[in-house]
Amino acid sequence: MTSATQPITVLISALGGQGGGVLAEWLVDVAREAGYAAQSTSIPGVAQRTGATTYYVEVHPVPVAALGGRAPVLSLLPVPGGIDLFVASELMEAARSVQTGMASAERTFVVASTSRTLTTTEKMAQGDGRFASDRLQDVLRRHSRRLAAFDMEGAARDAGTVVSAVMFGAIAGSGVLPFARDAYEAAIRASGLGVDASLAGFALGWAAVQAEDRPPAAAATEPPAVAPSSPATAAFPAAARDIVDIGYARQIDYQDVAYADLYLRRLDRILAAERAVDPAASHGHALTRETARFLALWMAFDDIVRVADLKCRASRYVRVRREVAATDGDVVRIVDYFKPGAAEFAALLPAALARRVVAWDRRRQLCGKGPFALALHVRADGMFGHATLRTLASLRWLRRRGSRYAAEQAAIERWLAAIEAAARDDWTCAHELALCGRLIKGYGATNDRGKDNLAHIVDHLAAGGAFAGAVERAAAIRDAREAALADEGGVALDRMLAQHQVPPRAVRPQPIVWTKRRPAPSAPSGRG
Amino acid sequence: MEVSFSNEARMLRRGHGETFHGEGILAITKALLQSGVAYVGGYQGAPVSHLLDVLVQSKDYLDELGVHVEACSNEASAAAMLGASIHYPLRGAVTWKSIVGTNVAADALSNLASPGVTGGALIVVGEDYGEGASVIQERTYAFALKSSLLLLDPRPDLARMVRIVEEAFLLSEASNMPAMLQLRIRACHVRGSFACSDNVAPPMSAKHLLDDPAAFDYARLAHPPVTFRHEKLKSSERLPAARRHIVDNGLNETFGGTRADLGIVVQGGLYNSLVRALQQFGLADEFGTGAVPILCLNVVYPLAPDQIRDFCAGKNAVLVVEEGQPEFIEQEILATLRRQSVATAIAGKDVLPMAGEYTVEALARGLAAFLDRHAPDLPLHAGRAWLAATDARRDAVAEELGAPLPPRPPNFCIGCPERPVFAALKLAQQDVGRVHVAADIGCHSFASFEPFSIGHSILGYGMSLASRAGVSPMMRRRTLAVMGDGGFWHNGLLTGVSSALFNRDDAVLLIFKNGYTSATGTQEILSTPTDAVKEASTQKQESLVHTNQTIERTLQGIGVRWIRVVDSYDVNEMRRTLDDAFTADFAGLKVIIAEGECQLERQRRVKPWRTGLLKRGKRVVRVKYGVDEDTCSGDHSCIRLSGCPTLSVKASPDPLKVDPVATVLDGCVGCGLCGENAHAASLCPSFYRAEVVQNPGWHERLLASVRRAVTQSRPAT
C-alpha cells in the first residue's frame, strides 16, 4: 500500500456567463502566490451564455518549497466522493452534481445558492412545471458534510457584481483552502476590473458561508392581498372564507355588487351540496373552497374591458416602474401590445350580431386570408393611449349585453351543475370536477381549448362513461385534467380518453394552405 | 470580435527566465513560437479556438517575428496551407476541432502525407471527446493510421505539453511525416505554469522572403506514378525513422513500479487520471510512483515495437489504457508481442469500457477487474469500498429526488437574432403544415432543443441544403434547410447552393446572417460588418450586418433568382416570407436571409458605450420588456414560442391563481421578440415594452410629469 497525500479539491458548478472562468483563474493565482501547486480545468460549454458549466480546481496541500523539486500529479477530472468543497451558483445544478455522486456526507462542504434559474422544460409547462426546491435542498443537506445555502444571485445583485465574486467569497469563507482572506482579495485587486463591486460581492459570500446552514430564502413574491371580510360572505365556513372573500371582492371590482352576489348564490349551491355529501366536513370544505377559487377566476373572465381596466390603473404604472428598476429621475415610456380579433369585438355585441361578425371572419380565413385582428401598440403612459384605455374600461355595462357574457355564464352553469350532480353521490368526484376549473385560462384559442376540454370532461367523464365506481370515475377526471395540461395539442388527453372508451374530442378546423410541390423540371445533362 | 486577448498576448512575449501562467491551449501557442514556426493557420472551434484568436490579435508581435497567421475559411484550406512545408524548410502549424475538422481536411491531409514534408508540419487538433463535447464521438487516431501521420497525445502537464510540441517539429522533420497533436477538452483548458524559453524568429519567413521557388521535383507531387513510391516510403523509411527518433529522444516516458510482473501502457493524455485511479486503491503516491510500472505514450502513433516489447517482456500482464473505439493501440500491441513471441497477457477493452470518456471512476473499475485477474494478492478493498459507496449514493439521490432532473441544454443567448426566426417557423407551420427541416452546425442547432424541437437531420457544417437533396424529390411539400453564415462560408455555398442550382432543385434555404461564426466564439468572416461601420454607428445596440452585402451579391452572382432579406426580429414578416417560400410558384432555389447581428457582439459593444454615457451624465434609453402579472393567466404559451432565458415564471401574486405567471427577469436586452410574438401569435395582452430614459432632458421630464399627473390621477378601484 502506498499512501498518497490527497489534494484539496474544489468543484464549481455555474451557468454560462457567470464568470466561472475568472473565478477558477483567481483561485489558481491565490494558490500560486501562496506557494502551492495548483491546477484548474473546466468544461466551459459553448460560447452561449446558458447551459451548465463546471470548473475543477486541485491544490496540493504541501507548499512547493517542501516538495524537494518533485511535482505532484494533479487530476483534470473530479472524483466522485473526492470533493472537499463544492460550490454551485444554482440550486438544481447543485443537485445535479450531487446526483452524479460528486459530493459526499463524509467529505464535502457544499455551498449552494438557493436561487433557481428555471430550465425551459420547467417554464414551458401549461400548468406549474417547477421542480420542488425543498426536495433539491434536502438532497444537498443529506449528502454534504456541511451545507451553506444562500441566495447568491441576490447577493451579487446587491453588490452590483457577477455571481462569481460571491462564490469566490464563499470559497474563501469556507476555510477549506489554507489561504488568508487578504490573499483572495489581493487576487481580485490584481485582476483590476470592477474591483470594488467584486470585493463587495466577495464580502457577502464570505459572510453568508460563515453563518451556519440556513433555511432557504423564501421565493420573491409580494404577500397575497387579503380582501377584508365582507358580511356578505359570513355564511361560509372559515376553511373557505378567505378565498370566498377574495372572489367576492374580485367580482365587484370586475363588474358590480349584483354580479358578486350571483357569485355567492352560485357558491351557496355548492356549499349546500358539499354539506349534504360531507356533513362532518371531513374534507375541510375543500370542495367549496376550490370551487370558490376557480369560479371567481372564471366569472371575472378577461375581455377587452377588463384588460383595459387593469392596464390603466395607477397601481400598474407604479409596478412597471418598479419592475424595470427605474429611479425617480428616470422617464419611463410604456408600450402595450394589443391584438383584438373579431372574436374579442363580437364578445361585446349581442348574440345575433356577434354570430355575423364571427361568420364573416371565418369566411375570410377560408379564402386563405389570416383571421381579422387589429395589431395595436398603445402608449399606456401617453395622454391618448391612457384615454383610450379609460374609455374601454368604462364599457362594463356593455359586457352584460355581450354574447360572450351569455356564453360564459352558460358554460359556468354547466360546470357547477355537474359538480352538484357529482356531489350527490361522491365528494371526491365533485372535488376533482371543481379542480378542473384550472383548465379555464388564457385568451383566444387557448381559452377556447380550455373550455372545450372542460366541457368534454363534464359531458363524458362526470356523467356517462363506463366506470366500475366513483373512485374510478374520480381518478379518470383527475387524469383527464392532468392530461389536458400536459400538451397544447391535447395528444395526452386524447390518449387518456381513448383508454376509458370515451368519445374523442371534436377536431377544431385549422385552415392550412396546401401547396403540392410540382415534379422537378427535367434534370440537367450530366457533367463531362 | 469584441473579446480582447491582450493579457494572453502579453504571455506569448515572455522569454527565457520568465514563467508562463495560463491555459493549455495558450501554452501550446507559445510552444509554436518557441519552435520557430513560419506560418500558422486553422479554423476555429472549441476547444482550440483560442490558439487562432490570440495569434490573430497578436499580429503586431508576429510581424516582428515574421510569422504569418491566417484564419482559413475551413479546415480543408488550413490543411492545404501545410503544403508550404513540402518543398521548403518552413515550419508550419494549423489547428482545428476534431473529429469534424479532420474529416473536412482529409483530402488535403492525404495529399500532404503522401509526398511528405521537409519543414516540420504540425496539426493541433482539439479532441472533442467525452464530457462537454459537441460533435460525433470518433477518434482522430484513424486518420493518423490511414495517412501515416504522427499522432502525439502529451501528458497534460504544461511543461511536458510544450516540450512535446517542440519535439513534434523535430520528429516531423526527421521522418518527413506531418504530425498531429491531440488535446482533449480539459487539457486545452488546464491552467498551470511552465518555464519559458525565447521565441524563435524563423530563418525563412514573412520577413525574410524566399528568393526563388524550389526546383521542379515530380517526387513531391501527389500524383501517379510517384504516389506508389510514396506508399512504399511510408513503411520502408518514414515510419522506421520516426520510431528511431521517438526512442532515441525519450518522447515516451516510463515510470517505475515495485511490481515488475505488471505494467500499464497509457495514452499520455490519460496519465493523470490513471494515477488518480491507482491512488484510489493505494497503488500510487502523490507523485505517481507506486506499485505498477507505467509506459506513458506521449506519441501514440507510430508505436515503437522494440519499446513495447522491452516494456512488456517478462511481465505476467499489461493493461492497455486507450480511450474510445476501436482499440487501435491495443490491437497493435497484441500483434507486436505475438510476432515477437512475447507471452505477456494483454488486457484492455475487455476490462475497460469500449466507448465513452475514461473518467477516474471508469479507470478504477477497469483496474479493479484487471488486478483481480492478474494480481489478486494486492489489497483493493479501499478502492472497492469507494466504488460501492459511490453507487449507493447515486441510487440514494435518485430515490430522494423522486423524479429525473429536467435537462439544461445550451440555449440561444438573451436577445439572440435566431430565436425569433424559429418562432416564426413554428407559426408558419400552422399555415402550411409541417415541414422537413434540414438543420446544420451552429447556434441555430439549439432549435433542436425545447421549446422549438425543430430539425430532422444534421449532416455537418454547412451541409444542410445538400442534406435535403434526396428528401425534396420524395416529398409532396417543400423542404427547408437552415444554415448560419458561418456554415455558408465554410461549406454551404459550394456543397449546398451550387449543387441545388446546378440540379435546378426546388428548395428553400434560410441563412442566418448574424455576421460571425458565433458558436465558436464570434470569429469574423466575409459577412462581418467592418470596424469602420462599428465605429461610425451612433446607436451601438443596432444590428450592423445589413451594411455587409457579400452573401447577397454572391448568391445573385451564381444565379439565385429568388432572394428575400428579412429582419430576423420581425416575426410576422418572417412568417409571411416563409409561407411565401413554401407556396410560391417559383420552382427553383429560394433563399431567405434572416438579418440580425449576433447579440453577444452587440452587447460587448453596448455595455462600455452605455456606461461611458452614464458616467458623463448623457441621455441613455434602456429598453426592457415586462409582463403584467394580473392579466397573465399562467398558460405560458409565450414561453413555448421563445425560450428566452429572461422570460421565466414566478408564483402568481393572485392568491386565487394556482399556476405561476410569466415574468421578464433582469438581463432582458429589449430585443423585442416578446412583443413581436404577442402580436404574431395573438398570444395575450400581458406584454409591455418599457423604455427607461436615464438622464432625460428638461422638456422630457416636464412632459413626463404632466403625463404622470393625468395617468395616475385615477383612484384605485
DSSP code for B679: H
Tell me: the pLDDT tens digits for B164-215?
999 999 999 999 999 999 999 999 999 999 999 999 999 999 999 999 999 9
pLDDT class of B684 with cuts at 50, 70, 90: confident
Q: Is residue B54 within 8 Å of B31, Cβ to Cβ?
A: no
B306 part of contact set with chain A, CB < 8 Å: no
Residues 134-173 of B with CB under 8 A from A: 134, 156-157
Q: Look at A324 and B449 and tell me if their CB atoms are within 8 Å.
A: no
The yes-or-no verdict on residue B349 having pLDDT over 90 is yes
Tell me: the pLDDT tens digits for B134-151?
899 999 999 999 999 999
Residues A378-400 have a mean pLDDT of: 92
Nearest to B366 by CA among B296, B414, B317, B437: B317
Q: Look at B711 and A314 and tell me if their CB atoms are within 8 Å.
A: yes
Contacts of residue B285 in chain A, CB cutoff 8 Å? 2-5
Contacts of residue B405 in chain A, CB cutoff 8 Å? 92, 95-96, 99, 131
User: Distance between CA atoms of B302 and B235, rounded to whole angstroms?
Assistant: 11
The yes-or-no verdict on residue A510 having pLDDT over 80 is no
The Cβ of residue A344 has, within 10 Å, a number of other Cβ atoms equal to: 21
Residues 486-525 of A with CB under 8 A from B: 488, 510, 512-518, 520-521, 523-524
Upstream peptide bond of B302 is cis (omega within 30 degrees of 0): yes
Q: Is B313 helix (H, G, I), strand (E, B) or coil?
A: coil
Q: Where does residue B434 rank: exposed (0-12), middle (13-18), buried (19+ CB within 10 A)?
A: exposed
User: Distance between CA atoms of A42 and A10, rounded to whole angstroms?
Assistant: 12
Q: Look at B624 and A124 and tell me if their CB atoms are within 8 Å.
A: no
User: Distance between CA atoms of A124 and A116, rounded to whole angstroms?
Assistant: 15
Tell me: the pLDDT tens digits for A205-224?
999 998 864 554 544 444 55
B505 part of contact set with chain A, CB < 8 Å: yes
pLDDT at residue A226, rounded to an integer: 58
pLDDT at residue A523, rounded to an integer: 47
Q: Look at A135 and B402 and tell me if their CB atoms are within 8 Å.
A: yes
Locate the chain B residue with the closest alpha carbon to A439: B635
- State how far residue A281 is from chain B, nearest Cα, in angstroms: 22
pLDDT class of B375 with cuts at 50, 70, 90: very high
CB neighbours of A211 closer than 8 A, spacing ≥ 6? A148, A150
- State how far residue A148 is from chain B, nearest Cα, in angstroms: 19
Locate the chain B residue with the closest alpha carbon to A519: B473
Locate the chain A residue with the closest alpha carbon to B400: A139
Q: Look at A510 and B443 and tell me if their CB atoms are within 8 Å.
A: no
Record the pTM.
0.94
Q: Is B405 helix (H, G, I), strand (E, B) or coil?
A: coil
How many residues can be counted in chain A?
Answer: 528
Tell me: the pLDDT tens digits for B542-563?
999 999 999 999 999 999 999 9
Residues 250-279 of B with CB under 8 A from A: 271-273, 275-276, 279
Contacts of residue A133 in chain B, CB cutoff 8 Å? none
pLDDT class of A227 with cuts at 50, 70, 90: low
The yes-or-no verdict on residue A525 having pLDDT over 50 is no
User: Distance between CA atoms of A352 and A355, rounded to whole angstroms?
Assistant: 5
User: Distance between CA atoms of A400 and A402, rounded to whole angstroms?
Assistant: 6
A282 part of contact set with chain B, CB < 8 Å: no
User: Distance between CA atoms of B568 and B514, rounded to whole angstroms?
Assistant: 9
pLDDT at residue B455, rounded to an integer: 97
Nearest to A315 by CA among B219, B713, B159, B489: B713
DSSP code for B617: T
pLDDT at residue A3, rounded to an integer: 73
B130 part of contact set with chain A, CB < 8 Å: no
Rounded to the nearest 5°, which phi and psi values hold at B655?
A: -60, -15
Residues A106-115 have a mean pLDDT of: 96
Amino acid symbol at B238: R
A16 part of contact set with chain B, CB < 8 Å: yes
Query: Which residue from B684, B700, B711 is facing A443, i.e. has the nearest CB?
Result: B684
Q: Look at A47 and B704 and tell me if their CB atoms are within 8 Å.
A: no
Query: Which residue from A40, A75, A120 is facing B450, i.e. has the nearest CB?
Result: A120
Residues 15-54 of B with CB under 8 A from A: 21, 46
User: Distance between CA atoms of B424 and B641, rounded to whole angstroms?
Assistant: 9
pLDDT class of B406 with cuts at 50, 70, 90: very high
DSSP code for B284: B
Distance of CA B183 to the CA centre of its chain: 12
Q: Is residue B650 within 8 Å of B660, Cβ to Cβ?
A: yes
CB neighbours of A22 closer than 8 A, spacing ≥ 6? A164, A191
Q: Is A333 helix (H, G, I), strand (E, B) or coil?
A: strand
Q: Look at B691 and A335 and tell me if their CB atoms are within 8 Å.
A: yes
Tell me: the pLDDT tens digits for B268-288?
999 999 999 999 999 999 999
What letters, b where the CB count within 10 A reaches 16 and e where it falls short, cover A12-46? Answer: bbbbbbbbbbbbbbbbbbbbbebebbbbbbbbbbb
User: Distance between CA atoms of B331 and B308, rounded to whole angstroms?
Assistant: 12
**Helix H or strand E encompassing B290:** none
Amino acid symbol at B489: W
Per the DSSP assignment, residues forming a β-bridge with B589 are B507
A281 part of contact set with chain B, CB < 8 Å: no
Nearest to B455 by CA among B466, B446, B463: B446
pLDDT at residue A193, rounded to an integer: 80
SS3 sequence, B91-160?
Answer: CEEEEEEECHHHHHHHHHHHHHHCCCCCCCEEEEEEECCCCCCCCCCCCCHHHHHHHCCEEECCCCCHHH
Q: In which residue are the cell numbers 513560437 written?
A: B33
Nearest to A389 by CA among B650, B504, B685: B685
Question: What does the block give as the cell for B343?
Answer: 507471452
What's the Cα-to-Cα distance from B89 to each of A265, B34, B72, B83, rounded to whole Å?
A: 97, 16, 22, 11
Q: In which residue are the cell numbers 402568481 written?
A: B652
A382 part of contact set with chain B, CB < 8 Å: yes
Q: Is residue A474 within 8 Å of A428, Cβ to Cβ?
A: yes
CA torsion sign for A413, A417, A418, A423 is: positive
How many CB pairs below 8 A link A and B?
411
Disruptive mutation site among A64, A323, A389 for chain B (greatest number of B CBs within 10 Å): A323
**ipTM confidence score:** 0.95
Contacts of residue B432 in chain A, CB cutoff 8 Å? 512-515
Percent of chain B with pLDDT over 70: 99
User: Distance between CA atoms of B458 and B438, rounded to whole angstroms?
Assistant: 7
Query: Which residue from A138, A221, A520 is facing B400, i.e. has the nearest CB?
Result: A138
User: Among A54-68, A103-117, A500-514, B665-679, whose mean pLDDT is lowest?
Assistant: A500-514
The yes-or-no verdict on residue A425 having pLDDT over 90 is no
Percent of chain B with pLDDT over 90: 91
Half-sphere exposure in the Cβ direction for B345 (13 Å, CA): 12
Tell me: the pLDDT tens digits for B627-657?
999 999 888 999 999 999 999 999 999 999 9
The yes-or-no verdict on residue A396 having pLDDT over 70 is yes
Arithmetic mean of pLDDT over chain A: 89
The yes-or-no verdict on residue A528 having pLDDT over 60 is no
pLDDT class of B158 with cuts at 50, 70, 90: very high
What's the Cα-to-Cα distance from B484 to each of A45, B421, B464, B507, B594, rounded to whole Å?
A: 20, 12, 10, 17, 9
pLDDT class of B452 with cuts at 50, 70, 90: very high
B697 part of contact set with chain A, CB < 8 Å: no
Residues 64-93 of A with CB under 8 A from B: 70-77, 79-82, 92-93
Q: Look at B682 and A386 and tell me if their CB atoms are within 8 Å.
A: no
pLDDT class of A518 with cuts at 50, 70, 90: low
Q: Is residue A399 within 8 Å of A304, Cβ to Cβ?
A: no
User: Distance between CA atoms of B613 and B608, rounded to whole angstroms?
Assistant: 9
User: Distance between CA atoms of B609 and B541, rounded to whole angstroms?
Assistant: 9
Residues A489-511 have a mean pLDDT of: 82
Tell me: the pLDDT tens digits for A8-47?
999 999 987 788 888 999 999 999 999 999 999 998 765 4
Locate the chain A residue with the closest alpha carbon to B652: A221
- State how far residue A140 is from chain B, nearest Cα, in angstroms: 9
pLDDT at residue B93, rounded to an integer: 98
Q: In which residue are the cell numbers 410576422 written?
A: B572
Contacts of residue B129 in chain A, CB cutoff 8 Å? none
Query: Which residue from B522, B712, B717 is facing A317, i.e. has the nearest CB?
Result: B712
Question: What does the block give as the cell for A131?
Answer: 421542480
B559 part of contact set with chain A, CB < 8 Å: no
Arithmetic mean of pLDDT over chain B: 95
Q: Is residue A172 within 8 Å of A181, Cβ to Cβ?
A: yes
pLDDT at residue A526, rounded to an integer: 40
Residues A396-402 have a mean pLDDT of: 92
- State how far residue B160 is from chain A, nearest Cα, in angstroms: 12
pLDDT at residue A488, rounded to an integer: 80
pLDDT at residue B714, rounded to an integer: 63
User: Among A270-279, A443-452, B34-43, B209-218, whose mean pLDDT is lowest?
Assistant: A443-452
Q: Look at A73 and B271 and tell me if their CB atoms are within 8 Å.
A: yes
Disruptive mutation site among A108, A331, A491 for chain B (greatest number of B CBs within 10 Å): A331
Q: In which residue are the cell numbers 441510487 written?
A: B395
pLDDT at residue A521, rounded to an integer: 54
Q: Is B639 helix (H, G, I), strand (E, B) or coil?
A: helix
Q: Look at A45 and B132 and tell me if their CB atoms are within 8 Å.
A: yes
B287 part of contact set with chain A, CB < 8 Å: yes
DSSP code for A341: B
Q: Look at A16 and B505 and tell me if their CB atoms are within 8 Å.
A: no
Nearest to A47 by CA among A18, A19, A20, A17: A17
Percent of chain A with pLDDT over 90: 69
Amino acid symbol at B617: G
- State how far residue B474 is from chain A, nearest Cα, in angstroms: 10
A339 part of contact set with chain B, CB < 8 Å: yes
pLDDT class of A230 with cuts at 50, 70, 90: confident
The yes-or-no verdict on residue A520 having pLDDT over 80 is no
Q: Look at B645 and A50 and tell me if their CB atoms are within 8 Å.
A: yes
A311 part of contact set with chain B, CB < 8 Å: yes
